[in-house]
């Protein structure tokens, strides 16, 4: 089933980055495999023990700003997390059809903002590989807002940082909890992305309009602008 949005009634486009524009496999691999392996090398124990310990440590700050803060993790784990992200950058890739959507918004002249939990240091690593800057009028990181997107306060503060009429705003994210917070804040048009990772089958949401890839909600358009890479 194709989902259609009334674009003429939508003034602002807000997009999540990881799992919507970029492959969430990078983040899953980085935190669940790469970092535990580095930690184990330094601290000993078995790979399974390291993984279990770190996953439990992550869980404690789930859905908070600390989770997104690379400096926090560098300190907690005594590892240079930004440097490790650079090392694993081969897995930073675009999701299929992400550019189709961005091009369609450009053709319709919609202001597009990246609204992400990603820390500025994560953004720097990711944009160094895939430069998404030219596509956005504004990039807002949770660090700038002071709250994570899962938290209701995020959406209140966002209205000051990025003035918008919630009822005429479109927002796509791959996390139901985040979409729920946006819904409570009155964001009018919500889209769940089910195909966040290239290595996992799509997980459709029963709560929100849900598609495998962002590009599915726009007509196929030609791609006049290629993404540039700093590689
Ligand atoms: Mg995401």
2-22 residue pLDDT tens = 889 999 999 999 999 999 999
CA of 175 to the centre of ligand 1 (A): 6
Cα–Cα distance list, 115 to 33, 50, 155 (Å): 26, 32, 10
Q: Same structural domain for residues 175 and 109?
A: yes
Q: How confident is the model at residue 220 (pLDDT cuts 50, 70, 90)?
A: confident
Q: In terms of residue numbers, what domain contains 61?
A: 26-90
148-174 residue pLDDT tens = 999 999 999 999 999 999 999 999 999
Q: Same structural domain for residues 14 and 58?
A: no
Ramachandran angles phi, psi of 176, nearest 5°: -60, -40
Sign of the Cα torsion 191, 194, 195, 197 reads positive
Sign of the Cα torsion 179, 97, 132, 19 reads positive
Number of domains in the chain: 2
CA of 182 to the centre of ligand 1 (A): 13
CA of 123 to the centre of ligand 1 (A): 13
CA of 82 to the centre of ligand 1 (A): 19
CA of 196 to the centre of ligand 1 (A): 7
Domain end among 90, 120, 146: 90
Domain end among 41, 68, 90: 90
CA of 17 to the centre of ligand 1 (A): 6
Please tell me the predicted confidence (pLDDT) of residue 189.
98
Mean pLDDT, residues 88-99 taken together: 94
Q: Same structural domain for residues 208 and 98?
A: yes
Q: Same structural domain for residues 127 and 174?
A: yes
CA of 122 to the centre of ligand 1 (A): 13
Please tell me the predicted confidence (pLDDT) of residue 219.
82
Answer whether 0.85 is exceeded by the pTM: yes
Q: What's the whole-number average pLDDT of the chain?
A: 93
Q: Same structural domain for residues 75 and 96?
A: no
């Amino acid at each position: 089933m194709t989902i259609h949005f009334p674009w003429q009634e939508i003034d602002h486009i807000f997009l999540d980055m990881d799992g919507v524009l970029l492959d969430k496999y990078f983040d899953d691999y980085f935190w669940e495999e790469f970092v535990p392996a580095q930690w184990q090398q330094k601290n000993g124990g078995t790979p399974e023990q390291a993984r279990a310990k770190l996953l439990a440590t992550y869980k404690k700050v789930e859905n908070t700003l600390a989770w997104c803060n690379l400096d926090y993790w560098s300190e907690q784990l005594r590892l240079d997390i930004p440097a490790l992200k650079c090392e694993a950058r081969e897995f930073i890739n675009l999701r299929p059809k992400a550019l189709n959507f961005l091009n369609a918004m450009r053709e319709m002249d919609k202001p597009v903002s990246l609204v992400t939990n990603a820390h500025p240091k994560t953004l720097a690593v990711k944009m160094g590989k895939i430069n998404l800057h030219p596509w956005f009028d504004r990039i807002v990181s949770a660090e700038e807002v002071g709250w994570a997107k899962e938290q209701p306060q995020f959406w209140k503060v966002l209205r000051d940082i990025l003035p918008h009429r919630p009822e005429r705003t479109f927002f796509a994210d791959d996390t139901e909890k985040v979409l729920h917070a946006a819904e409570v804040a009155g964001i009018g048009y919500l889209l769940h992305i089910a195909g966040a990772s290239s290595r996992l089958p799509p997980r459709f949401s029963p709560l929100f309009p849900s598609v495998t890839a962002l590009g599915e909600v726009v007509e196929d358009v030609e791609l006049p602008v290629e993404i540039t890479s700093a590689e």
